[in-house]
Amino acid sequence: MTDAVFKPAAQPAPIPLRELLPWAIFVGLLLLVALYFVGAEEGATSLVPGMMVHEFVHDGRHLLGFPCH
């Protein structure tokens, strides 16, 4: 009969905050830009002329509760 040997599972290495912080800032900025285009890109605050962006995100505006008409 052989002796059973217990081997503990390998522990994952923690992710340092210094490596995660730039990605978190980048994703946060992307989300803010997306929120601007969905929520405020129309009328006097429009960065893009015309209604192209508004029509592209129209259903998203209603889904998120932004009034548009």
In a domain, 37, yes or no: yes
- Indicate the number of domains in the chain: 1
Segment 31-66, tens digit of pLDDT: 999 888 888 777 677 777 877 887 888 888 888 888
Is 59 within a domain?
yes
Residue 2: pLDDT over 70: no
Q: How many CB atoms lie within 10 A of CB 54?
A: 18
Residue 25 lies in a domain: no
Number of other CB atoms surrounding residue 57 within 10 Å: 20
- 16 falls within a domain: no
Question: What's the domain range around 42?
Answer: 31-69
- Say if 11 falls within a structural domain: no
pTM here is: 0.62
Evaluate whether residue 61 is within a structural domain: yes
